Chains A and B, each alone.
Chain A
């Protein structure tokens, strides 16, 4: 059952990215990359290799729909790999209960905000510098990355609020 749910999440987020988010072009600068929410919502206890593989699958699927193969995939694999270390760094006071998932309603707001912010930031900065391939316009590229982080985070929070609810203890 869980597998089906995560499969559906994968498909829906991919469709949402290519049919909706890729169409957004605010001031020609902002195109949110909401598909990375898929990597954020994978359960805590999922095997690390599987998370990395799923991150790659998601990234390369999004890449198929844009110009150059590999950019989205490289950034997604990186955050899929850094997800567990990041969780360990952030969650100092939180007790991990078996039934909890890394979603907004299960965790404290500040925890989830940090979790989403750091991973999105890493993803976007890596992605935009992979595209620029130089530090010539460093501040410009970094600025655009930050603007996109804001947009992506906003969408992630909206999605979390609308489509997710707190897990039940079982």
Chain B
């Protein structure tokens, strides 16, 4: 017995090491569970203010670039508005005006962002106080950014487009081709569009946009086709998509709030129960 105690006392650091590693592994492996994300998000209440201060400083340095981006964005929006007034398409003329209020856009700033990992996250400076909730889409002026994973009262964690678990359905503008957009972990400015049934009339440079989705506005731009793999794998083709948004530079984003998500979920539950 004494020998045992001696052994333990002599090797405290080994036991300590094993115990701490187990704690870390629990933290990491449970990162898919809800409770873990609550811990994760609320831990940002401690670190958030530092990140916010850093973001403010960074924003000041990049003011010129931010202004240029805003100008670009304004230009596109203005041209859209005027073109729309001149030639409203038939579709838009007859759509229900209610449709325009499906999505609400809440502005937020990115205060922490990584791109060098295989599973990247962003942290935003707005949380449940600003009516942000889990599973909302996050977009930037140029493209989509990610999906809100969890929120604390003042901050939220966003699962980046550059994450192995990220996938949304996307389509190619004006061509009846749709697929699933995922990131393969290689290049932070490129994503893959999978499950494409035919590449016959797809050209390099075609624009890829969001297909009908509950969390992103439909037809929101994502990127352009940069490479076409002519070899079909299991009957499907894969395209490379060059992303419009430079995800290593993103700072101003909008969180997309679907005003009908509650109703939709209720319906889904009902169908499931029946």
Contact = CB atoms under 8 A, between A and B. Distances in A.
A140 B186 contact: yes
Interface residues of A, number: 42
Contacts of B24: 56, 59, 70-71, 73-74, 77
A128 B119 CA distance: 10
Contacts of B21: 74, 77-78
Contacts of A56: 20, 24
Contact of A131 (B16, B118, B248): B118
A105 interface: no
B50 A131 contact: no
Interface string B100-130: 0000000000001011111111110000000
A13 B184 CA distance: 33
A52 B16 contact: yes
Interface in A57-98: 59, 64-71, 73-74, 77-78, 80-81
Interface in A13-64: 18-19, 22-23, 25, 28-31, 47-49, 51-53, 56, 59, 64
A81 B17 contact: yes
Contacts of B17: 52, 77-78, 80-81
B27 A69 contact: yes
Contacts of B20: 52-53, 56, 73, 77
Of the candidates B24, B27, B54, the one having the most CB atoms from chain A within 10 angstroms of its own CB is: B24
Interface size bucket, B side? 35 or more
B120 A29 contact: no
B246 to A, nearest CB: 9
Contacts of B173: none
A46 to B, nearest CB: 11
Contacts of A130: 28
A148 interface: yes
B188 interface: yes
Contacts of A19: 50, 54
B116 A74 contact: no
Contacts of B115: 25, 28-29
Contact of B112 (A51, A66, A137): A66
A68 B28 contact: yes
Interface of B: 12-14, 16-17, 20-21, 23-28, 31, 36, 39-40, 43-44, 46-47, 50-51, 54, 58, 112, 114-123, 157, 164, 184-189, 247-248
12 contacts: A28-B115, A52-B17, A52-B20, A53-B20, A67-B112, A67-B119, A68-B27, A68-B121, A69-B36, A80-B17, A131-B118, A132-B117
